Amino acid sequence: MLGRKLLGHAGNFLSAVAQFRARKLNLIADSEIPRSANPLLQHAVDTYASETNKTASVFREFAQQDLVFRPHPKSSTVLDIMRHQLLSERRFFAEFLDSPEPQAAAVLPAEQTPGTYAGRLIELARPRIAWLARREDTWWLGKHAFFDVERQRIWIFWRRVLHSTHHRTQLTVYLRLLDKPVVSTYGPSADVTWKGADPTLAL
């Protein structure tokens, strides 16, 4: 009984620490995420919030002088990828999912720094999360134009999540090439680990 109580207190403490960290870094806290109209789609809302936080955390690892870095003359710069992330995500939600979005000209931050891009990413995502949570099954399963084809909105949504993950992965490679710490995303990295972390490197 005492052990269960202690575990409960420890869990509450860790949750409080996570909420404090989210507020300090202006990330999306678990307490901000609304319940989905369909409980079976709660994971979609939760995942979008989590993926946005991960991407913002990667943005913040860059210094101002890193924005012009590119690993090859044909590669995008760090700034190119950050700009594309904000603009393309806005396009997906506005054109393919019909969510209320700001005009494209108002998407990018006035000050071009890694911190302002991370903050703007979070700022744009917050109303989308609330909007996604209110969507009914017929909306998710309904079809919408996607470039030159038609796809279900739930397909378009997950395509957007994967697209963002692709660009975040580009930036984590850039961090390594710049000899900067790579933050944890789905598990430990060479720079961030914890007791019990298991990267599954052996049989």
For residue 143, what pLDDT is reported?
Answer: 97
* pLDDT for residue 9 is more than 60: no
Q: Indicate the pLDDT class of residue 15, thresholds 50, 70 and 90.
A: very low
d(CA 61, CA 80): 16
Q: pLDDT, tens digit, for every residue of 174-185?
A: 999 999 999 998
Helix 78-91 and helix 114-133, axial crossing angle in degrees, nearest 10? 20
CATH for the 15-177 domain, from 1.20.120.450, 3.30.420.40, 1.10.260.40, 1.20.120.1200? 1.20.120.450
- Mean of pLDDT over the chain: 90
Q: pLDDT, tens digit, for every residue of 117-134?
A: 999 999 999 999 999 999
Domain boundaries in the chain? 15-177
SS3 (DSSP) at 149: strand
Which residue, among 170, 96, 84, 68, has the nearest Cα to 121 in the 3D structure?
A: 84
- Rounded to two decimals, the pTM is 0.85
Q: Which helix (H) or strand (E) holds 4?
A: helix 2-24
Asked if residues 121 and 55 have their Cβ atoms less than 8 Å apart, the reply is yes
Asked if residues 4 and 12 have their Cβ atoms less than 8 Å apart, the reply is no
d(CA 128, CA 112): 23
Quick one: average pLDDT of 156-171? Answer: 97
